[in-house]
Amino acid sequence: GALPGSRGSETNQHALYIAGLPPDTANVHLYKLFASFGAIRPKGVHAMMNPDGTCKGIAFVNFLDEGAAQAAIMMYNGAVLPDGTTLKVAMKQQKSAAQ
């Protein structure tokens, strides 16, 4: 069974995978971009960083609500940033519990 206090995969139920971010992206930028769509889980914004402190171009944003996640996908998936890169925003692939 699950440990007390852990809700298993539910915590990532409405997580978004974001790719195509510029190297200067930080968690605070992502929070500002995505918070307008709805409530984000505590510690639910995570930009993947290189050892030198630059963003790898990938991040995850974990919403409390599926509607908020879907709205963010509709708004930002395929959006072209000022530097010419195109964002990819999709639901994060769930790891199956059967592994």
- Give domain limits for the chain: 10-91
Amino acid at 26: A
**Tokens 């630059």 identify what position?**
54
Whether the per-residue pLDDT at 31 is higher than 90: the answer is yes
> What pLDDT does residue 2 have?
45
Over the chain, what is the mean pLDDT? 88
**CATH number corresponding to 10-91:** 3.30.70.330
Q: Which of 54, 42, 47 is nearest to 28 (CA)?
A: 47
- Taking 80 as the threshold, does the pLDDT of residue 99 lie above it? no
The confidence score (pLDDT) of residue 10 equals 57
- Per residue in 49-89, pLDDT tens? 999 999 999 999 999 999 999 999 999 999 999 889 999 99
Within 8 A by CB and 6+ apart from 1, the residues are: none
